[in-house]
Amino acid sequence: GDSVTQMEGPVTLSEEAFLTINCTYTATGYPSLFWYVQYPGEGLQLLLKATKADDKGSNKGFEATYRKETTSFHLEKGSVQVSDSAVYFCALSDWVTGGGNKLTFGTGTQLKVEL
């Protein structure tokens, strides 16, 4: 079945450091890929998405490129802020005709940004 593997955390960075969170996936079809973020005490929010190979999703300075050849969707940000501290989840969608959309999530990577 479909699966998502992302790097384990926690990841601790200093403010303005470069961020990379690795994500690889296994899927039988051609899924859409997502990064969701969960701030403390809040629900999951979509950060960015890419729906086909070579697409780049971007939002709030974060970006990720859908790499079909390496089955990866790594999250990057050039300069993190304290406010970026959260748990980040990589996910893929599995659209089943007549069955709707289902997301498969990775285990999450906790990011802590310090001054």
Binding residues for another protein, per CB under 8 A? 4, 31-32, 36, 41-46, 49, 51, 89, 91, 93-96, 98-108
CB nearer another protein, residue 17 or residue 87:
87
Q: What is the CA radius of gyration of the chain?
A: 14
Nearest to 46 by CA among 61, 55, 56, 59: 59
- In the bound complex, what is the minimum distance in angstroms from residue 90's beta carbon to another protein? 9
Nearer to another protein, 41 or 115 (CB): 41
